[in-house]
């Protein structure tokens, strides 16, 4: 009898413990990042068909960043918590639900970098601004009351000619929605001043300020998706000197290249030795390619590169008659996976590096970028302003 009583008591205790509370409700944590406001909206939701709303109504949701945080209670109908986060970084958020049911989650939020200005300079009576990546089309902007801002390409803006200098905030919205108000200084421009850079020999170097280095890729017969991916991931500025016939075969790729922030240069219609042509034919090679590329891609080149680096006074005159303002050579090349500079030394600020759109370009560019980062150099867009104050050369300093 005593044994039966003990067993009955154990069963009663076990039964009570087994009925200690209702079964937990399945809950899910979801979040959405808003680049326009740089906030994360976090919501805990119950599984459909469960009494989860009752659980949430009796609970408190807290979200904290690194232990210090923004908190908000749930309303009777559920609710959300919005947390501000920094743009262009990684934020760790601790999500805690307490009350009739507990839940803890850690979220890691990677936010895109805000758009920024990477280069600027005068061209054809306007002040050109080059951004770190493609922008959304937005409402018209006017700086300092009179200077109109227009879009030239997704990553290039033009500010109209102004008789007086101007300092203002330029509103930028990246294609991913990230916004930034960027300070700009626009000098007083006159048409005479704006055209100070003209076709005059070749520029094998560009402005070294900020440890700038300039990446250029020639021809265009073999587009590379790896290069396009790198541009999207790192906002890498690249100038493609395109042969018009090559570009025509893959127009959709080159439109994507421009949308990713790529610059377009003129490499003639069919890549001839311009020094062996008449002035009229050389002019046609420059002018027809420039016009076609502008029509196809929405970015009319102002800088050209002579095929094979073949250059003389006739080529210079033909370029000017074809509508170009400057000619670019180079001072460093990629031979296989080896970087060759004009003087045999490591890359230095102001160098213009030439590669070609060939199989294996993606790997070559990865090798080049590793060397650039190791030397603390900064890839920079090649624009007319890049040649300001730089002495031109008679020919490129490295063979094509």
Most confident of 20-24, 170-174, 199-203, 391-395: 170-174
Q: What is the pLDDT of residues 334-349, one digit of tens each?
A: 988 899 999 999 999 9
Whether residue 215 is predicted with pLDDT greater than 60 in this model: the reply is yes
Average pLDDT for the chain: 82
Classify residue 304: in a domain, yes or no: yes
Same domain, 293 and 360: yes
- C-alpha span between 133 and 173 (Å, rounded): 10
pLDDT tier at 21, thresholds 50, 70, 90: low
Other C-beta atoms closer than 10 Å to the C-beta of 338 total 9
- Residue 4 confidence (pLDDT): 40
β-pair type (239-242, 303-304): unpaired
**Residue 197 or residue 95, greater confidence:** 95
Classify residue 396: in a domain, yes or no. no
Range of 158-172, 174-188, 210-224, 315-329 with top mean pLDDT: 210-224
Instruction: Please tell me the pTM assigned to this model.
Output: 0.60
| 393 in a structural domain | no
Using the structure block, give the residue that is written with the tokens 């100070």.
196
Q: How far apart are CA 315 and CA 351, in angstroms?
A: 23
**Range with the largest mean pLDDT of 128-132, 133-137, 318-322, 369-373:** 369-373
CATH number, residue 164 = 2.60.40
What is the spatial distance between Cα 377 and Cα 33, in angstroms, rounded to a whole number?
A: 32
The pLDDT of residue 399: 52
Question: What's the rounded Cα separation, in Å, for the pair 336 and 313?
Answer: 32
CA distances from 38 to 27, 65, 170 (A): 26, 14, 19
**Same domain for 100 and 130?**
no
Residues 188 and 202 in one domain: no
More confident site: 51 or 261? 261
Does 5 map to a domain?
A: no
pLDDT of 56 above 80: no
pLDDT of residue 352: 97
Token pair of 281, please? 């034919």
The residue from 88, 110, 132 where one domain ends is 110
Which pLDDT belongs to residue 84? Answer: 82
Cα separation, 208 vs 350, whole angstroms: 4
* pLDDT band at residue 217 using 50, 70 and 90 as cut-offs: very high
Is pLDDT at 120 greater than 80 in this prediction? no
Which of 2-11, 76-85, 122-131, 335-344 reaches the highest mean pLDDT?
A: 335-344
**Mean pLDDT confidence for 7-30:** 56
pLDDT band at 196 (very low <50, low <70, confident <90, very high): very low
Is 284 found in the same domain as 323?
yes
Q: What is the pLDDT at residue 12?
A: 40
Together in a domain, 154 and 217: no
Among candidate residues 358, 379, 360, 359, the one with its CA nearest the CA of residue 370: 379
Domain match, 163 and 201 both: no
> Are 249 and 213 found together in one domain?
yes
Q: Are 206 and 212 in contact (CB under 8 A)?
A: yes
Backbone torsions φ then ψ of 172, nearest 5 degrees = -120, 135
pLDDT for 319 beyond 50: yes
Last residue of a domain, one of 192, 223, 250: 192
Mean pLDDT of 59-64: 79
User: Looking at 66, 87, 110, which one is the last position of a domain?
Assistant: 110
Q: Vertex 245, ends 240 and 250: CA angle to 5°? A: 65
Q: 17 or 319: which carries more pLDDT confidence?
A: 319
Closest CA to 342 of 324, 354, 326: 354
Q: Both 205 and 332 in a single domain?
A: yes
Is residue 395 a part of any domain in this protein? no
CB 180, CB 115: distance < 8 Å: yes
Question: Are the C-beta atoms of 330 and 204 separated by less than 8 Å?
Answer: yes
- In which residue are the tokens 């154990």 written? 10
Q: Decide if 400 is inside a domain.
A: no
Say if residue 105 is in the same domain as residue 129: no
Q: Does some domain include residue 94?
A: yes
Distance in angstroms (rounded) separating the CA atoms of residues 42 and 324: 53
d(CA 130, CA 132): 7
Residue 359 sits in the same domain as residue 220:
yes
Q: Is the confidence at residue 123, as pLDDT, over 80?
A: no
Q: Is residue 15 part of a domain?
A: no
162 SS3 class: coil
**What is the count of structural domains for the chain?**
3
In the chain, DSSP finds a helix count (H) and a strand count (E) of 9, 23
Query: Distance (Å, rounded) from C-alpha 271 to C-alpha 363?
Result: 25
- Ranking 4-18, 27-41, 214-228 by mean pLDDT, the lowest is 4-18
The per-residue pLDDT for 198 is 44
Sign of torsion over alpha carbons 233, 237, 241, 243: positive
Domain hosting 138: range is 117-192
Same domain, 145 and 202: no
């Amino acid at each position: 009898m005593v044994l039966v009583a003990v067993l009955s008591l154990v069963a009663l205790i076990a039964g009570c413990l087994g009925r200690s509370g209702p079964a937990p409700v399945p809950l899910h944590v979801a979040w959405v990042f808003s680049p326009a406001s740089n906030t994360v909206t976090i919501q805990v939701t119950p599984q459909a068909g469960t009494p989860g709303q009752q659980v949430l109504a009796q609970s408190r949701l807290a979200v904290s960043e690194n232990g210090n945080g923004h908190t908000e209670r749930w309303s009777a109908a559920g609710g959300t918590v919005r947390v501000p986060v920094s743009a262009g970084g990684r934020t760790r958020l601790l999500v805690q639900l307490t009350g009739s049911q507990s839940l803890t989650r850690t979220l890691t939020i990677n936010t895109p970098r805000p758009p920024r200005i990477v280069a600027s300079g005068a061209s054809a009576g306007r002040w050109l601004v080059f951004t770190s990546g493609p922008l959304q089309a937005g409402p018209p902007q006017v700086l300092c009351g009179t200077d109109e801002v227009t879009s030239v390409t997704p990553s290039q803006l033009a500010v109209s000619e102004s008789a007086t200098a101007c300092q203002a905030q330029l509103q930028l919205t990246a294609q991913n929605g990230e916004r930034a108000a960027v300070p700009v200084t626009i000098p007083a421009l006159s048409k005479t001043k704006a055209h100070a850079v003209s076709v005059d020999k070749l520029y094998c170097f560009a402005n070294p300020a900020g440890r700038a280095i300039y990446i250029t890729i020639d021809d265009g017969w073999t587009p590379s998706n790896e290069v396009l991916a790198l541009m999207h991931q790192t906002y890498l500025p690249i100038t493609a000197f395109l042969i018009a016939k090559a570009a025509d075969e893959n127009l959709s790729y080159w439109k994507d290249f421009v949308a990713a922030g790529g610059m377009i240069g003129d490499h003639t219609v069919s890549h001839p030795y311009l020094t062996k042509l008449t002035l009229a034919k050389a002019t046609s090679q420059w002018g027809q390619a420039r016009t076609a590329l502008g029509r196809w891609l929405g970015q009319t080149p102002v800088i050209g590169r002579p095929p094979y680096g073949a250059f003389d006074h006739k080529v210079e005159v033909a370029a000017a008659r074809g509508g170009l303002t400057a000619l670019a050579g180079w001072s460093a090349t990629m031979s296989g996976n080896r970087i060759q500079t004009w003087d045999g030394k490591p890359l230095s600020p102001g160098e213009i590096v030439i590669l070609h759109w060939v199989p294996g370009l993606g790997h070559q560019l990865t090798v080049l970028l590793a060397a650039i980062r190791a030397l603390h150099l900064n890839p920079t867009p090649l624009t007319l302003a890049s040649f300001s104050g730089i002495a031109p050369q008679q020919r490129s300093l490295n063979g094509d």
